[in-house]
Structure 1
Amino acid sequence: MEAYKETSIYKGALRILQTLQAAHYEAYIVGGAVRDIQMGRIPHDYDIVTSAMPEVVIDVLRTEGFITTNVVGASFGVVVVTEGDDTYEVATYRSEQYGEDSHRPVAVQFPSTFLEDVQRRDFTINGLALTESGEVRDEVGGLRDIVARRLCTIGSSQERFQEDALRMFRLCRFAGQLGFSIDPATWAGIEPNLYRVEGLSLERVRIEIEKMLLSEYVDLALDALVRSHLNEQCCQQTIEGQSRRIPILPELTHLVDLPQAPEHHVHDGWCHTLAVVKRVAPNLVLRWAALLHDVGKGMEGVRGFHNGRITDRNHDRVGATMARNILTRLGYAKEFVNLVVWLVERHMRFHFYVSNGSADLRKWLQKESHENLFRETKDLVEAVDYLKTLGVADVLGGGTKDAEPTVQYGTRMMDMAKQMPVHTKDLCYDRTLPNLVAPYTKEVMETLLQRVQAGDIPNTPEALHKAGMAKYERVKKKEYHA
């Protein structure tokens, strides 16, 4: 038996179907869950469509012990149903009419038919339905496109994207999540509808971009985003009733076909960026840092030539400034922005230290430990771990060097970071020490922190007690003579 049939969430969905059908209404599992089942994946959520009106859905399901929302989505006829720990959306068949809004229909008609409901959906692979008996109902060629690993809109792509501009971003996202190619006729519907992006909210666009960044085939998703010019559009953000235009990611466009020094790179700026992003783990900090690590390359004042060779001096600093502007306008929290910016700004220094064995790594880490970005040692260790990962991916993405020296150096840097206290609370002192050196506790502890960071004394209770008491005696003596 297929593994998905053993999950509680599927069994709950099946019981909803059976309950509605017993009351003489049509009901199907529909959309992404059916697509995933056909691809051998186990779905984590299930959507259901039915011929029953929302009020009837509530009445029928509650009679059988299901928990449903009292408030029905008036615009869309959706009832949220709970069975145990699982939640489902049960929607009435509907057809839609669209107006000026770039995402939401202005009118919804129901009851409708199953075929009309399917034809309003975005892509053929999301237009499949599953019956109670496990049979697939395919009215739009979704099974064919799953086999071909191809993304196609249901009907005219120009009409589908005109109706809902967010579908263009979903197209890029599905390419990244599924590794599917985009049908040329579907691709052709993007350009005439780029103007519709301006009506989308920043929140919805950012959610789609984050899903792209975390996808398995992230390079396909981002490449589609940029080559479609969706990244060059603006969306909108409304704050206290005031709407403003927010550029999405226009800073990426100049990387496409941007020449790079062949002695360090086999790809242009954009293909190198994609190679680096793909090589880091699906973590938002890492993926954003990888996407923006070379965004400063090719910019005015950065791109140059020396002895006939391409240079991009200070692209790390310029890129860090650009990264801060990008992530801030996209609404990320300050702490998140600071960490990504730190990685972008430090990635070339990391490569410098890898290439120069005589450089003082401890001194660099000591300096970094003083940055306000890090509150304690574990924060520094996490950042260094990210930097190592980014550095290795950057070397591999260049395609001209062996990454093993970078791996080894990064490991050494990690080990040293673990021993580098950032705050006095990272010191391994005997807890009686602060009382013993009072009233000079703050001065003594800060001195101990600096000495451990510099490698003058080990971070052990015995060494800290001895050095702390010696500092205490000096401070007390100095104050006495003063």
Structure 2
Amino acid sequence: MECKAYRETEVYQGAILVLRTLQQAGHEAYIVGGAVRDIQMGRIPHDYDIVTSALPEHTIHSLRESGFTTTNVVGLSFGVVVVRWKDYEYEVASYRNEQYGEDSHRPVSVDFPSTFLADVQRRDFTINGLAMMVDGDIRDEVQGLQDIQKGILRTIGDSKKRFQEDALRMFRLCRFVGQLGFTIDSDTWAGVAPNLYRVQGLSLERVRTEIEKMLLSDHVALALDALVRSHLHEQCCQQTTGGTSRRIPILPELTHLVDLPQAPEYHVHDGWNHTLAVVQQVPPNLVLRWAALLHDVGKGMDGVRGFHKGRITDYNHDRVGAIMARQILERFGYGKDFVNLVVWLVERHMRFHFYVANASADLRKWIHKETGESQFRETADLVLAMEYLAALGVADVAGSGTKDIGPSQVYGERMVRIAKSMPVHTKDLQYHRTLPKTVAPYTKEVMTTLLERVQRGDLDNTPEALQEAGIAKYHRLMKKEHKE
């Protein structure tokens, strides 16, 4: 499975130079972690971490003597020295052991053992415990190669101890499931539940980063399912602002979707498995993946779940879900524009299905209405939103398992075409540069009229059409003023 192409990359060659320099100074040195794992899986790494028997000050001395640029500030207390070579940076870590306290990710103390074996035994998973030598040979003290071949995620040593040391490892476990498509070893899985309480010591920023990596992973459905089945999503992490810490719920809003019945005439899955199918279907874009994860989060809620003539209904789940989505994303600290776009998609996803099912409905009129009621500042914003909505809508149909996605794809393409022809602001109009001066002092009134007419579809957005219509409007305004 190993691919040799990585050896031709400049970033790898720089890592080898660092290894050789440390070895020539009398120290052990290896490439470790994700780069070695990826190489064994036929992937080309983009960055390399290095471990060495040298103490930090010896690492700095040896590398600087050979012309490398290093820092003696970043990570030095944890035995990590950042080395720069050409356009690349490498973290060179001394063999170390760590002890953890209240902070469930940052160690309170670090000591430097003398052997690679002692260092590797404090690492998280066997697949990340591999080391590569200068000649490309692999040092494997933890059966990491075997676990890669079997597609298994397994902690190095006792899983309860590994997760107790660093609670972020439980989220990394779910993330690796998504990135690699591996299954979780049963003993490793058993170590999660006893350490859920340790999540409260993690920072929101680190938890959010791991969840984002899950959302963008190739096997996103597997990652999210592991997150929920482990109950990590029901825990709280912390955010410290101005010296004050507060508890932040992670994603408890997902719990009720598990095993939530849905109308069988429209869905073959329960609420959670449908959600997973939709998330897996949309492209790996953070806006789309969040929208897909939360698009049905309002289903089953009090005031939403009901029954009509013996059938399950979830009327207004899109609106309730949009409110919940805003609360979740703001809690995670996302910016206003990001939140507004995801919330818009959650709230509008049923509108997409309405227009697909009702071909005679006036789609252009709805899109025109959106230009005035939503947050779009220009046509490009509207087009992007419609592209996202089309992708979400098609994925929602595919995830239902009951319908052909063809009609939805065709309608989605039509939505985007209309959006591209729909100016949101007067600056989106394709008028001659001289037109605003020509129609002065009625520039505002004329341009607003032209915008509304193009949006309605009764005026082409071309320089010639806008010039003619603009001057005609100008003359009407002048006549009206003279009469008055």
Select the residue among 138, 143, 146 that pairs with 2:145: 143
* Residue matched to 2:404: 402
Looking at structure 1, the residues matched to 308 and 232 of structure 2 have their Cα atoms a distance apart, in angstroms, of 35
* Residue matched to 1:31: 33
Q: 1:72 to 1:451 in 2, by over 3 A?
A: closer
SS at 1:82 equivalent = strand
* Residue matched to 1:251: 253
AA matched with 1:163? E
Corresponding pairs, count? 482
Q: Deviations over 1:444-477 (max 9, x none)?
A: 1011100110112111111111111121122222
Shift of 1:372: 4.2
Equivalences for 1:13-92 in 2 at 5 Å? 13-92=15-94
Q: Deviations over 1:74-127 (max 9, x none)?
A: 321111001111110001101112222211111100143211100010011101
Runs of 4+ in 1 over 3 A off after TM superposition: none
Select the residue among 420, 437, 440 that pairs with 1:438: 440
* Residue matched to 2:358: 356
AA matched with 1:115? L
* Residue matched to 1:121: 123
* Residue matched to 1:300: 302
Q: 1:115 to 1:272 in 2, by over 3 A?
A: same
Looking at structure 2, the residues matched to 112 and 171 of structure 1 have their Cα atoms a distance apart, in angstroms, of 28
Looking at structure 1, the residues matched to 107 and 125 of structure 2 have their Cα atoms a distance apart, in angstroms, of 17
Cα RMSD of the aligned pairs, angstroms, is 1.0
SS at 2:146 equivalent = helix
In the alignment, structure 1 residue 260 sits paired with structure 2 residue 252:
no
AA matched with 1:296? G
Equivalences for 1:32-431 in 2 at 5 Å? 32-431=34-433
Unaligned runs of 5+ in 1: none
SS at 2:214 equivalent = helix
SS at 2:433 equivalent = coil
Shift of 1:371: 3.0
AA matched with 2:333? G
Q: 1:104 to 1:254 in 2, by over 3 A?
A: same
Shift of 1:72: 4.8
Q: Indicate conservation of the 8 Å contact 1:95/1:112, yes or no.
A: no
AA matched with 2:352? F
Looking at structure 1, the residues matched to 97 and 347 of structure 2 have their Cα atoms a distance apart, in angstroms, of 51
Q: Indicate conservation of the 8 Å contact 2:113/2:119, yes or no.
A: no
SS at 1:235 equivalent = strand
AA matched with 1:468? G
Looking at structure 2, the residues matched to 354 and 438 of structure 1 have their Cα atoms a distance apart, in angstroms, of 44
AA matched with 1:26? E
Looking at structure 2, the residues matched to 261 and 100 of structure 1 have their Cα atoms a distance apart, in angstroms, of 46
SS at 2:77 equivalent = coil
AA matched with 1:41? R
SS at 1:106 equivalent = strand
Q: Indicate conservation of the 8 Å contact 1:102/1:200, yes or no.
A: yes
Q: Indicate conservation of the 8 Å contact 2:56/2:76, yes or no.
A: no
AA matched with 2:432? D
SS at 1:97 equivalent = strand
Looking at structure 2, the residues matched to 160 and 265 of structure 1 have their Cα atoms a distance apart, in angstroms, of 40
AA matched with 2:36? V
Q: Deviations over 1:149-189 (max 9, x none)?
A: 00011111111111111000000000000000001111111
Q: Indicate conservation of the 8 Å contact 1:54/1:72, yes or no.
A: no
Looking at structure 1, the residues matched to 411 and 469 of structure 2 have their Cα atoms a distance apart, in angstroms, of 31
AA matched with 2:18? I
Q: Indicate conservation of the 8 Å contact 1:53/1:111, yes or no.
A: no
Q: 1:340 to 1:96 in 2, by over 3 A?
A: same
State which drifts further: 9-18 or 73-82. 73-82
SS at 2:78 equivalent = coil
State which drifts further: 430-439 or 458-467. 458-467
Select the residue among 439, 444, 467 that pairs with 1:465: 467
AA matched with 1:190? V
SS at 1:88 equivalent = strand
* Residue matched to 1:11: 13
Q: Indicate conservation of the 8 Å contact 2:239/2:248, yes or no.
A: yes
Looking at structure 2, the residues matched to 342 and 73 of structure 1 have their Cα atoms a distance apart, in angstroms, of 42
State which drifts further: 71-80 or 433-442. 71-80
Looking at structure 1, the residues matched to 168 and 48 of structure 2 have their Cα atoms a distance apart, in angstroms, of 21
Select the residue among 467, 479, 482 that pairs with 1:480: 482
AA matched with 2:229? R
SS at 1:421 equivalent = coil
AA matched with 1:365? I
State which drifts further: 414-423 or 454-463. 454-463
AA matched with 1:223? D
Q: Indicate conservation of the 8 Å contact 1:161/1:189, yes or no.
A: yes
